[in-house]
Amino acid sequence: MSGRIDQPFTNEHFAAWCEKMVGRPYWYGACCYRATEVLLRKKRSRYPKRYPVSMNAKYRRDIAAGEVVADCIGACKGYAWSDGGEAILAALGQKGSIPMKYQANGCPDKGADSMLAWAKRQGMPWGGIGTLPDVPGLCLHKQGHVGYTVGGGYAVEWRGTKWGCVRTAIADRPWTEWFALPFIDYANAPLPRRKRTLRRGNKGAEVRTLQESLNQRGAALAVDGKFGKRTEVAVRQFQRENGLKADGVCGERTWERLEKLKGEGKV
């Protein structure tokens, strides 16, 4: 495991990077950017309620110190967009911009809630907080906010303007779900694997698996890995026959039903 701490984009490396960021300030809408007057004006113009004038002294101290600032979800985006966060660590206490490429390394520009929804669509492991495995580098979620597990029952979170980036006990915070980030490698982590949500227009091996399963129910689809109109119709038919919402989208409940029937020898 120690070797993976030195490998960017492994879950161990990401968790170790988060711990090295403890103490950094929280700025809403920032993704590990250098704190500057230009950034403050830009963010205040876009999010005026998040940047009250009463906090000006605090923001100016951050700017004077050359701080690197982020919000909760902006932290993992900054890590991905800077090729694993090393440039961010090197920039702490320095001056000048931090090299980043927008949406690099497969990390989209999404908020806390939409990042969870996207990870689910990608088929990443996730679950209720009561099922959280002790694996570093997972994302913790509650509505509108995320943190990151670092092992041993602790997490690092960019908690808010008042707190900045802090290390907290997971049990002391109101997290509701956990999920694995699609751009982080959890190869050594004992995580359950989930199939991604499939809909018209998707392609690939999982679509072929779906088509094969539907064919075993009499669908007579071409197993070509392309989710087209005929596959959508077959999904709707299967959903109607099994008391599911017939929306033609193969999500978690549809996968579960297909797998249950397979286990019973009915698919």
130-157 per-position pLDDT tens digit: 989 999 999 999 999 999 999 999 999 9
Q: What percent of the chain has pLDDT over 90?
A: 78
183-228 per-position pLDDT tens digit: 999 987 888 766 778 999 998 878 898 999 999 999 999 999 999 9
The residue with greater pLDDT, 265 or 93, is 93
Domain end point (choices 71, 106, 141): 106
d(CA 100, CA 34) in angstroms, rounded, equals 11
Domain match, 128 and 215 both: no
88-97 per-position pLDDT tens digit: 999 998 888 8
d(CA 98, CA 253) in angstroms, rounded, equals 43
User: Would 36 be classed as within a structural domain?
Assistant: yes
The stretch 73-88 carries a mean pLDDT of 97
Domain match, 69 and 116 both: no
DSSP state of 196: P
Q: Are 231 and 204 in contact (CB under 8 A)?
A: no
For the cut 80, the answer to whether the pLDDT of residue 3 exceeds it is no
Q: What percent of the chain has pLDDT over 70?
A: 96
The residues pairing with 68 across neighbouring beta strands, listed in sequence order, are 34
The stretch 42-56 carries a mean pLDDT of 96
Domain match, 65 and 140 both: no
Q: Are 197 and 250 in contact (CB under 8 A)?
A: yes
Domain match, 210 and 250 both: yes
Domain match, 116 and 92 both: no
User: Would 186 be classed as within a structural domain?
Assistant: no
pLDDT at 256: 83
Domain match, 6 and 91 both: yes
Confidence of residue 1 (pLDDT cuts 50, 70, 90): very low
User: Would 142 be classed as within a structural domain?
Assistant: yes
User: Would 199 be classed as within a structural domain?
Assistant: no
For the cut 70, the answer to whether the pLDDT of residue 158 exceeds it is yes
The residues pairing with 166 across neighbouring beta strands, listed in sequence order, are 157
Domain range for residue 22?
A: 2-106
Q: Supply the CATH number for residue 235's domain.
A: 1.10.101.10
pTM metric for this prediction:
0.75
Domain count, the chain: 3
Domain end point (choices 77, 106, 135): 106
Domain match, 95 and 123 both: no
Domain match, 126 and 99 both: no
Domain match, 146 and 209 both: no
pLDDT at 188: 79
User: Would 242 be classed as within a structural domain?
Assistant: yes
User: Would 188 be classed as within a structural domain?
Assistant: no
The two structure tokens encoding residue 163 = 């707190």
Q: Are 221 and 234 in contact (CB under 8 A)?
A: yes
pLDDT at 260: 79
For the cut 60, the answer to whether the pLDDT of residue 267 exceeds it is no
Domain end point (choices 63, 83, 106): 106
User: Would 191 be classed as within a structural domain?
Assistant: no
pLDDT at 258: 87
For the cut 50, the answer to whether the pLDDT of residue 253 exceeds it is yes
Q: Are 119 and 181 in contact (CB under 8 A)?
A: yes
Residue carrying the six token digits 């440039």:
87
